[in-house]
Amino acid sequence: MKRSFIQLSHLPIFTVTSILFISFIFYSYSGGITGMTKKNGDGCTCHGSTSTSGVNVTITGPSQVVVNTSENYTLTITGGPAVRGGTNIAALLGSLTAGTGLQKIGDELTHTSPRTFSGGSVSFTFSYTAPSSPGSDTIFANGNSVNFNGGNDGDAWNFAVNKPINIITSLGSVTVNSPNGGETWYAGQVRNITWSSANITNVKIELSTNNGSSWNTVTANTPASTGSYSWTIPNSASAQSKIKISDVSNSIITDESNAVFTIASQLCKDVNVTTGWNIIAVPVTAANMSKTGLFPTSASPAYAYANGYVTSDTLSHGRGYWLKFSAGQNISICGTPVILNSVPVVSGWNLISVYENDVQVSQITSSPSGIITSPFYGYSSGYTTPTVLSQGKGYWVKVSQSGNLILPIGLGKQIQASTMKVDFDKFAKLIISDADRNQFMLYTSNALIDEKSFLLPPVPPTGIFDARFANDRFVESILSGSQKISVNTFAYPISIKTEGQQIRIKDVINGEIIDAVLRDGESIEIHNNQLSQFIIESIETPAKFELIQNFPNPFNPETNIRYEIPTASHVELSVYNILGEKVATLVDEFKEAGIYQSTFSGKDLPSGVYVYRLQTINGVVSKSMSFIK
C-alpha cells in the first residue's frame, strides 16, 4: 500500500514517537491486522510490493515430531535495514503456540511489537504441535526488516524457506555402538564409528576429548541407515574421549559413548632378537617401513619367501623375514596398529606373522576351512613348534590351497597344548649343532611313518643353520637301514650326537673321509667345512651270537651270509671246501656289536658243498651251503 506523508517537524517529540510506532504497526499489520504467510496471502506487502533476497528468514528446529506432541522452534531474520523486525508464521496442519515476542491472530502467529535487531539479527520463538495422524506438514513464515523511520522507504521483507515436518507415530532413536568406552584408538588410523538407529534419516557425529565438556564436529550430516562412518582419527591424544551421535533434524535424539575411550599418538612394540639369524616381523604400521628404518642394527638383507627367497627393502604386515643381527637386543617399533584379523596365504609354504597381539595357535582357523597342513614353525637357533605365535616374530606354515588364516581378537584361552600331538620320547635322537651354538633335533624311528608328517619348511638362505633328512623331514624311519642328512651352516666344526640308538655315520663319498660308529650318548665332531651331507646307518644290538643260514641256498654264483654279534669283537668269517681247505676270507677285522651281512661268490670254484665259519670272542660256529653251477 502507499505510505501517507506526515509532517513530523511540527509535532511534539512524544507525538513523533507515537507516529513512528503507529506507522510500524500499520505496515506490519497490513490487510487490517497482519501480513500473511504463503499459507494465507502474499507476505508483508505493506513494506514493499515484492519480497527481496536481501532479507533472510530461517526456521530452525526438529524435522520430525511425534503425533500429538510439541517441539520448539526459532525464527531468525537477518539483512535489510536491520533496525526493527516483525514476522508472520503459520502451519498447514498442526497448531502453533506463541513464544517470545509473538501473539496468535487467527491461525497465524505475528509479532506483538516490532523487535529490535541485535548483532545483525532478530529472533522469535514458538512451538509446534503435531496433529493426531502421521504424515507430512509444513511451517510457513515471512519476516520484515524495517528502518523504523515512520515510512516504508527502505523497508524490506522476504519469505522463509518452508520448514517441512515429518509427523511420526514414535520418536526416532540412536545408539552409539563403537567406540563405546574402554577402547584405545590411534591417531592416523582409519576406524569405523558405528551405531544403530530407528526413524532417523541423517545423523551428526561429534567428538569430545574432555569427557563431554565440549564437542567438535566429526561430520555434520551422514546417512543414518549406513550405521557406520569411516573416521581418520585426529592427532588429539586424550584418555577422556567420547563420541556423540544425534539426529540432524532433532538434536534431542542423541546418544554418546557409555564411557571414555583413549586416542593415543602411537603404539610401540618391542621386537626381541638374538645373536645370529632370526625370523622377524613388523607388528605395527610405522612411518618408515623400510628394513633399515625398522631394523637399523641388522647385519643382513631381509629375506622374504615367495616360492623361493627374495630380498625385501620394504617390509609388510603379515609376513616373516629372515634377518641377521650381530648381537641380541630389543628393538622398539612405534606406529599404528594393523586393524586386520586375517593373514593371506598361498598354496605351499608361507612365512607369515601375526600383528600387534600374540595369538594362540589353537585358536587360528582358516578360510577355506581345513587348509592348514603343517604345524606352525618358529625359529630360535633351530625350528620350534610353538603353541603361541608372538608379535614381532615370523613363522612357517604350509597350506593346501590359497586362502586366509583367521586370527582371533586378542590372546584367548588355550584349547590344546600343541598343534602336533606326537610322543617324541619314543624316537631316538640325533642332536646336530654348529660352532655358533645353533642346534637342531632330528629323530629316527624303527617303524614306518606317515610320509606327509614331520615336513620341515624350505631350507633357509645359505649360511643360516639348518639340519634335516634329505626328504625335508625331521623324523625318519631307518627300517631301510640308512638315511641321508643335510646340514646348512658356515660355523664349523659341527657336532652330531646320538641318543637312544647306535648308528654308523659316513660321508656321502662312501665313507672315505668320515666313517664312525656312535653308541648311545656319543658324538662326533666334524671340522671339514666341505662336508655337509652324511649317511647314517642303524646298528641294532643282537640279543645273541648267531650265524644265519645263507640265502639263497643252493646258490649260483652268489649268496648272502648274515651274522649277529652281541658284543664288540674281532670277527673272522671264512669259507672252506669239503677237504677243509680255506677258499675265501670274507671278514677279518674288529666290529662293533650289531647285525652284519657279507656276500660270497663261487664263480671261480667248482660246484659242491662248502662250509662257512664265524669266529668271535663269543665263540665259533659253522654252517654248510651248496654251490651249483
HEC states along 557-581?
Answer: CEEEEEEEECCCEEEEEEEECCCCC
Query: What is the 3 state secondary structure string of 57-101?
Result: EEEECCCEEECCCEEEEEEEEEECCCCEEEEEEEECCCEEEECCC
Dihedral of the CA atoms 128, 131, 132, 133 (nearest 10)? -120
Class of domain 13-168: mainly beta
Residue 320 confidence class, pLDDT cut points 50, 70, 90: very high
Residue 612 and residue 600 in contact, taking contact as beta carbons nearer than 8 Å: yes
Q: Average the pLDDT over 481-493 and give the result.
A: 90
Give the pLDDT of residue 7.
28
From the list 342, 331, 356, 329, the residue with the least C-alpha distance to 264 is 356
Q: Average the pLDDT over 578-582 and give the result.
A: 95
Q: Is the peptide bond before 552 cis (omega within 30 degrees of 0)?
A: yes
Q: CB within 8 A of 247, min separation 6: which ones? A: 62, 64, 172, 174, 200, 202, 203, 204, 224, 253, 254
Residue 462 and residue 488 in contact, taking contact as beta carbons nearer than 8 Å: yes
Give the pLDDT of residue 593.
84
Angle, CA of 378, 381 and 387, to the nearest 5°: 25
Residue 508 confidence class, pLDDT cut points 50, 70, 90: confident
Give the pLDDT of residue 480.
63
Give the pLDDT of residue 99.
96
Residue 14 confidence class, pLDDT cut points 50, 70, 90: very low
Give the pLDDT of residue 274.
94
From the list 540, 535, 529, the residue with the least C-alpha distance to 563 is 540
Q: Which grid coordinates are listed for 474?
A: 625331521
Higher pLDDT, residue 281 or 418: 281
Residue 4 confidence class, pLDDT cut points 50, 70, 90: very low
CA gap 437, 380 in Å, rounded: 11
Total H helices, total E strands in the chain: 2, 54
Longest dimension (CA), the chain: 173
Q: 10 Å Cβ neighbour count for 130?
A: 24
From the list 266, 289, 78, 95, the residue with the least C-alpha distance to 188 is 266
Give the pLDDT of residue 5.
25
Give the pLDDT of residue 25.
36
Residue 46 confidence class, pLDDT cut points 50, 70, 90: low
Give the pLDDT of residue 6.
27
Higher pLDDT, residue 60 or 416: 60
CA gap 82, 147 in Å, rounded: 7
Residue 43 and residue 54 in contact, taking contact as beta carbons nearer than 8 Å: no
Residue 155 confidence class, pLDDT cut points 50, 70, 90: confident
Residue 539 confidence class, pLDDT cut points 50, 70, 90: confident
Residue 169 and residue 134 in contact, taking contact as beta carbons nearer than 8 Å: yes
With a cut of 80, say whether residue 228 has pLDDT above it. yes
Q: Which grid coordinates are listed for 84?
A: 526493527
CA gap 591, 568 in Å, rounded: 6
With a cut of 90, say whether residue 119 has pLDDT above it. yes
- For the ranges 77-86, 257-266, 403-412, 419-428, which has the lowest average pLDDT? 419-428
Does this model's pTM top 0.75? My answer is no
Residue 216's SS3 state is strand
With a cut of 90, say whether residue 318 has pLDDT above it. yes
Higher pLDDT, residue 453 or 495: 495
Distance set, CA 141 to CA 111, 125, 429, 475, 532 (Å):
12, 12, 94, 89, 95
Q: Tell me the fold of 173-264.
A: Immunoglobulin-like (2.60.40)
Does the fold of domain 546-627 match that of domain 173-264? yes
Q: Tell me the fold of 546-627.
A: Immunoglobulin-like (2.60.40)
> Domain locations in the chain?
13-168, 173-264, 267-406, 424-539, 546-627
Supply φ then ψ for residue 22, to 5 degrees: -65, -40
Residue 109 and residue 102 in contact, taking contact as beta carbons nearer than 8 Å: yes
Alpha carbon 249 to chain centroid distance? 38
- For the ranges 324-338, 380-394, 447-461, which has the lowest average pLDDT? 447-461
Give the pLDDT of residue 361.
95
Give the pLDDT of residue 451.
65
Give the pLDDT of residue 501.
86
Residue 208 and residue 241 in contact, taking contact as beta carbons nearer than 8 Å: yes
- Which pLDDT tens digit goes with each residue over 20-45? 333 333 333 333 234 667 666 665 65
Q: Average the pLDDT over 212-231 and give the result.
A: 96
Residue 346 confidence class, pLDDT cut points 50, 70, 90: very high
112: left (phi over 0), alpha (psi -120 to 50) or beta: alpha
Supply φ then ψ for residue 292, to 5 degrees: -70, -30
Bridge partners, 321 (sequence order): 280
Give the pLDDT of residue 412.
37
Angle, CA of 308, 311 and 313, to the nearest 5°: 150
- For the ranges 30-44, 50-64, 147-161, 170-184, which has the lowest average pLDDT? 30-44
With a cut of 90, say whether residue 397 has pLDDT above it. yes
Bridge partners, 598 (sequence order): 561
Q: 10 Å Cβ neighbour count for 96?
A: 20
